[in-house]
Chains A and B, each alone.
Chain A
């Protein structure tokens, strides 16, 4: 644990330093970040990227968890296996397969052109929608598994009671979805920091925070500034996570087994 905390403490110290040898204290790195609109547009884009990917993932992931929860034991095992398989497979590999799918000559474009939906290839690679789609797929297991856990612990009587009291299935669903805070949180932090997916699908022109840190640290060799960006990024992610947690606990229901 000390090996985790100590580097972060040194990182924090570095973010206030003037040079990589850590002489002199200064706020210059933070001032530099917040006075250049380029920096906070990257931060904003990154945080929003996470929100979009998480929402898309919820849209697909929730029904999968719902079906898996109602499936027979045998089918549930098969479904779970299919859900876990992608997250076990290397992220680089999964991202690579999406390049084959999204590219100009890719699977999606060929299908779309074959069906006459479009006359020329769509640009999907190196665009933000492309990154969002891939992130949603790559991180979906992180969403489905915790939802499934919470669902399977829900007392069936609660759903019955909700129905007897006149709430429709959709309404019951809505009231059950909200308290599921964990999946969104894990999935969110995984998406905003998904360096490989962001760089390979987003390309060099879509810069998100992890790439920004990497470029400053290794490319520009400006360690103090990279440290400041890292700290700002971490704090921002933690704030969003805390916010998500709060929002999702607005309507708590008792989910104890």
Chain B
């Protein structure tokens, strides 16, 4: 925001200096933990020390035989995949409905759908457990997926709504006047225009589901274990370097997905 009336007085200098200094610290503060975890996972020794004593990939190799860990990772991927798919469909539908309804209702529904982000997720996880027991059901994978959908759908809704508000309505009218039916207009005009919003939101939903603990804690049955809970228990009980190796993999996996999402959906712009 360069302004013509900008003058270099003491006050603006002090402000700039302070802010640049704090920001530098904050950026280190934001990025350092991820870097440290990757470096620690490359250690050749038995202990979680930073800087590591010698470099090796032995802990990554050890993951190949960690059956429980692999099983948990696989469950998490499956749950996150289905949850994301459902979120994308439901979130887009909800966003379309909200953007078409009048202001009061739109605000009400917006608030309802966003509330899973504001309310304590753990309380919701527990509420869901109580609810399904009252219905006579028991925790299972489909219910776990459903629980994830409820807490992850706000992400898709947010980005899709943002994309919809930028949509030029004259395009829809043009399409309709050229004889396209509702569904055709949606598929050929609306969807390509809001597609980036949906993709960015789905990416966020996927990451949120893959990482969810509070809901999974209550809705996963005894036999199924998802990755974040498995890791959480590992860290609480026997902290070993394999945990660092899994963490390293997750960081790298996240980074790759983020680069993809940035490339195809302009993620950083969608997040604002």
A interface with B by C-beta (< 8 Å): 1, 3-8, 10-11, 14, 20, 22, 59-61, 63-64, 66-67, 69-70, 77, 79-86, 88-101, 103, 105-107, 110, 137, 140-141, 145, 148-149, 152, 156, 159-160, 163-164, 168-170, 173, 185-186, 189, 192-193, 195-196, 199-200, 209-210, 213-214, 217-218, 223, 226-227, 230-231, 233-234, 237-238, 241
In the complex, the answer to whether B272 meets A152 with C-beta atoms within 8 Å is yes
For the complex, is B213 an interface residue (Cβ under 8 Å from A)?
Answer: yes
For the complex, is B11 an interface residue (Cβ under 8 Å from A)?
Answer: yes
Q: A156-B3, A189-B118 are in contact. Are A90 and B20 (CB under 8 A)?
A: no
Q: How far does the alpha carbon of A227 sit from the alpha carbon of B255 in the complex, in Å?
A: 38
Q: How far does the alpha carbon of A95 sit from the alpha carbon of B18 in the complex, in Å?
A: 28
Q: A60-B29, A67-B20 are in contact. Are A89 and B34 (CB under 8 A)?
A: yes
Of A7, A69, A107, A186, chain B has the most CB atoms within 10 Å of the CB of A7
Which residues of chain A are near B45, meaning CB under 8 Å? none
Return the contact of B31 from the options A86, A99, A107 (Cβ within 8 A).
A86
28 intermolecular pairs with C-beta atoms under 8 Å apart? A1-B109, A4-B150, A10-B131, A11-B130, A20-B133, A63-B22, A77-B268, A81-B268, A84-B258, A89-B254, A92-B211, A92-B232, A93-B231, A94-B34, A96-B235, A97-B36, A101-B50, A137-B29, A149-B272, A169-B12, A170-B15, A210-B122, A213-B126, A217-B218, A233-B120, A234-B119, A234-B120, A238-B118
Which residues of chain B are near A233, meaning CB under 8 Å? 120, 123
Mark the stretch among B61-69, B169-177, B187-195, B244-252 that contacts chain A: B244-252
| Minimum Cβ distance to chain A for residue B16 (Å) | 8
The proximity string for B residues 1-34 relative to A, scoring 1 for CB distances below 8 Å and 0 otherwise, is 1011100000110110011101101110111111
In the complex, the answer to whether A100 meets B20 with C-beta atoms within 8 Å is no
| Minimum Cβ distance to chain B for residue A71 (Å) | 10
| Minimum Cβ distance to chain B for residue A12 (Å) | 9
Q: How far does the alpha carbon of A213 sit from the alpha carbon of B119 in the complex, in Å?
A: 14
In the complex, the answer to whether B247 meets A93 with C-beta atoms within 8 Å is yes
Q: How far does the alpha carbon of A238 sit from the alpha carbon of B117 in the complex, in Å?
A: 12
Q: How far does the alpha carbon of A160 sit from the alpha carbon of B254 in the complex, in Å?
A: 41
For the complex, is B236 an interface residue (Cβ under 8 Å from A)?
Answer: yes
B interface with A by C-beta (< 8 Å): 1, 3-5, 11-12, 14-15, 18-20, 22-23, 25-27, 29-34, 36-37, 40, 47-50, 109, 112-113, 115-124, 126-131, 133-134, 146, 150, 207, 210-211, 213-214, 217-218, 228, 231-232, 235-236, 239, 243-244, 247, 250-251, 254-255, 257-258, 262, 267-268, 271-272
Return the contact of B213 from the options A61, A91, A168, A185 (Cβ within 8 A).
A91
Which residues of chain A are near B123, meaning CB under 8 Å? 11, 193, 210, 213, 230-231, 233-234
Q: How far does the alpha carbon of A165 sit from the alpha carbon of B214 in the complex, in Å?
A: 51
In the complex, the answer to whether A100 meets B1 with C-beta atoms within 8 Å is no
Among residues of A, the one whose C-beta sits closest to the C-beta of B27 is A82
In the complex, the answer to whether A145 meets B271 with C-beta atoms within 8 Å is yes
Return the contact of A69 from the options B1, B15, B258 (Cβ within 8 A).
B1
Chain B at the A interface: SS class: helix
In the complex, the answer to whether B120 meets A92 with C-beta atoms within 8 Å is no
| Minimum Cβ distance to chain B for residue A13 (Å) | 9
Given A69-B1, A189-B119, A227-B126, 16 further pairs, Cβ under 8 A: A4-B150, A11-B127, A67-B23, A82-B30, A88-B207, A88-B258, A91-B228, A93-B231, A100-B40, A100-B244, A106-B50, A137-B30, A193-B121, A217-B218, A230-B126, A234-B120
In the complex, the answer to whether A140 meets B120 with C-beta atoms within 8 Å is no
In the complex, the answer to whether A60 meets B26 with C-beta atoms within 8 Å is yes
Return the contact of A170 from the options B11, B119, B134, B214 (Cβ within 8 A).
B11
